[in-house]
Chains A and B, each alone.
Chain A
Amino acid sequence: MVRVLSGLAGLALLAAQAAANEPARYSFTAGTDISFVSVSGHPSWVDGSAGKLRYDENSEGLTVSRTFVDYRLRIAGTLNARIAAEAYDDDIGSSIDFTQAYLEWRPLTLSPNRYRLKLGAFYPRLSLENSDPSWGSPYTISSSAINTWIGEEIRIFGAELSVSRRPESLGGAHTFSLHAAAFKHNDPAGGLIAWKGWSLHDRQTRFDDVLPLPPLPQIQPDGFFWRQDPFFIPFQENEGDIGWYANVEWQYRNKFLLRALRYDNRADPRNISNRQYGWYTEFDHIGVQISLPGEVGLISQWLVGETVMGPFIRGAHVVDNGFESNFVLLTKAFDRHRVSARYDDFEVTEIDQVPLDENRERGHAWTLAYRFQATEKLGFAAEWLEIRTHRPAWAYNDLATTRTERQLQLSLQLRFGQLH
């Protein structure tokens, strides 16, 4: 399905391009981040272990951490297409793959309501950090725990309808909007938060990525969840039920924004397809961003949810985990420089009474970042990231159950195309 969708989107783009007979029907931003990374922590989950960072002592040093293209095409006056693809320097999936591919229709009806329809694969209206091309962040290199998880496990393969209104009685300064979506292909979402826990990094899961899972005893061939492959596919449909989310939003000029979302993937937690369990995952999200006096910006997000998986034992599902995280980010820009600081707090709790699958964790993280935009096409970023976690499941793999993981990343950020 994912391949079909991306194929269709690609064909639509080619057809539209062939028909395009005037310039500037498309725009794109491409970029690459060349990084030097120094790290001290558990072996990374990206390498099939359980550490929270994207890099570990085996992968530190010089790396092309991210290469991307974010392409937009105007098919007709109110119909646009967008595709984003990312390439990473690791062993997961193909070297380059899509992260987003969708059509967006923005009809103008001359009524006070504005309608928008998105169709395809896209991010839910949630992150307040990832506003740069291809879901990058203008503030830090690594996303917050919340948005890292959204990038890892959550993608909307479906449709989103938005209605927004800017009442003229309020001087046109306020915009109120409602976004509702129906989707499929996100049934395993929740598995990573249970089995790996929260992370902070900048790696987004692409459509056909197959992610490693920590080598937990319960997912080994002789473990309780022997029917689960020891790797994880977040974007697949297990049983055909349609998930949904709804978000409401209030924006007051470029001063204040408040959004609140509820997500429910409506997956059947007992269903296994393609050797992947369905994880019935629900969460609530509130995000706020405020432009404070003195050119200081504040972003804060809070997400709380629950994920349930596996057969019924003693009246409850075998795995039932609560998860919660919040962060506060302060940022200040002056001239071509920007400094940002973020504090993340995260937790996974056990709601089930079954001891064989221990997924509890509690932790917090500090991120300090500096960015310098030398020219439109050349930037420099430095980030210090420190995550302290207590995770009992690390004992399964003979790792210390309380650990402070630290990472320093220096990046040269090259950008090309019609930058927007």
Chain B
Amino acid sequence: MGSTPAYALLVRFCCAVALCLLAIATTGARADGITVEVTDREGQPVPDVAVFANLPAALSAPAGTSAVMDQVDQRFVPHMLVVQTGTKVEFPNSDTVAHHVYSFSHPNHFKLPIYKGHAHPPVSFEESGIVVLGCNIHDHMLAYIVVVDTPVFAKTDANGVAVLDAAPAEGMHVAIWSPRLRDDDADLSVAISDANAGSAIAFQLKKGLRPPHEDQSEVLSWSEY
């Protein structure tokens, strides 16, 4: 890189000031929240990243908590779902074709034999971890369920920002996960040691991102032959 032009520095400075103001405004509006910002190597925001705060003790969802992983146009919707342990996840098939949903992810593996509509009861995920979903009929179908043992979780928005609905506290770990991230696990988790400093956390990734799932070209046919 050569020398940075003065106007670029000015723009960066203004952005930094704006971000600080935004951060102050956000934390001001939600004094009890933790603002988490995820940026890539180049400093660009990363949307759709799971953000969660692990508490000193694991906590499962109250009975009756449910979530939905739908199947529409031979895709899972959403592409990534974040749930608390103990959540019952429904897998309705809203397609005209049958699906055969499975996951090999230990220890949350399961399979739902070929079905349409609401043929199967919901699946309860009791262990934290990443659950990679597939369909035995349509190999291109892929989705993730992030199972966390804390009620404090969110997803980053288009600005790469998520606000966790919890007061920062000693012993808390804030972690992020997305199938696009390639950084080491150690770099994706931050321990909160000082309650005041923990209200705004920034993750800047060290490794490049995998392309987003939505960026799936239809120009070529990916046959099963």
Binding site for B on A (CB under 8 A): 24, 27, 74, 77-78, 106, 108, 110-112, 114, 123, 125-128, 130-132, 135, 138, 166, 168, 171-173, 175, 251, 253-255, 257, 289, 291, 295-297, 299, 331-333, 418, 420
Contacts and interface: CB of A to CB of B under 8 A. Distances in A.
Indicate the member of A131, A138, A254, A257 with the most B CB atoms within 10 Å: A254
A333 B219 contact: yes
Given A171-B210, A172-B132, A255 B223 contact: no
A296 B102 CA distance: 33
Interface stretch (B14-22, B61-69, B103-111, B165-173): B103-111
B136 interface: yes
B130 to A, nearest CB: 7
A171 B100 CA distance: 21
B114 A77 contact: yes
A131 B221 contact: yes
Contact of A108 (B100, B211, B220): B100
A-B pairs, 7 with minimum CB distance: A131-B223, A297-B220, A131-B221, A291-B217, A297-B219, A171-B179, A172-B132
B153 interface: no
Contacts of A110: 102, 104, 109, 111
Given A74-B98, A173-B179, A291 B134 contact: no
B225 A127 contact: yes
A78 B221 contact: no
Contacts of A106: 136-137
Contact of B140 (A27, A131, A254, A296): A254
Interface in B156-214: 179-180, 182, 210-211, 213
Contact of A74 (B114, B134, B144): B114
B100 A255 contact: no
Interface string B111-145: 10110100000000000001010101101101010
A295 B179 contact: no
Contacts of B105: 168
A74 B114 CA distance: 10
Given A171-B180, A254-B216, A77 B225 contact: no
B97 interface: yes
Given A173-B210, A289-B220, A131 B136 contact: no
Contacts of A78: 100, 136
B51 to A, nearest CB: 18
Contact of B220 (A74, A175, A291): A291
B97 A24 contact: yes
Nearest to A172: B132
Indicate the member of B97, B100, B132, B219 with the most A CB atoms within 10 Å: B219
Nearest to A25: B98
Contacts of B98: 24, 74
B130 A168 contact: yes
B102 to A, nearest CB: 5
Contacts of B73: none
B116 A123 contact: no
A24 B97 CA distance: 8
A267 B102 CA distance: 42
B222 interface: yes
Indicate the member of A172, A296, A420 with the most B CB atoms within 10 Å: A172
Given A254-B216, A297-B219, A130 B116 contact: no
13 contacts: A110-B111, A127-B225, A128-B223, A130-B225, A168-B130, A172-B179, A173-B210, A253-B213, A254-B140, A291-B220, A296-B219, A297-B219, A418-B97
B218 interface: yes
A23 to B, nearest CB: 9
Contacts of A77: 100, 113-114
A132 B221 contact: yes
A138 B179 contact: no
Contacts of A108: 100, 102, 111, 136
A131 B109 CA distance: 32
Nearest to B74: A420
Contacts of B97: 24, 27, 418, 420
Indicate the member of A110, A123, A295 with the most B CB atoms within 10 Å: A110
Contact of B222 (A125, A168, A251): A251
Contact of A257 (B104, B113, B211, B222): B222
Contacts of B130: 168
B217 A254 contact: yes
Given A77-B100, A111-B104, A331 B219 contact: yes
A291 B225 contact: no
Nearest to B224: A131
B220 A299 contact: yes
A297 B217 contact: yes
B215 to A, nearest CB: 9
Nearest to A27: B97
Contact of B132 (A27, A168, A299, A333): A168
B218 A333 contact: yes
B217 A255 contact: yes
Nearest to A329: B220
B129 to A, nearest CB: 10
A78 to B, nearest CB: 7
Given A78-B100, A172-B132, A254-B222, 18 more contacts: A27-B97, A77-B113, A106-B136, A108-B102, A110-B102, A110-B104, A130-B225, A138-B221, A168-B132, A171-B180, A171-B182, A173-B210, A253-B213, A253-B216, A254-B140, A299-B220, A333-B219, A420-B97
A331 B218 CA distance: 11
A77 B109 CA distance: 18
Contacts of A295: 217, 219
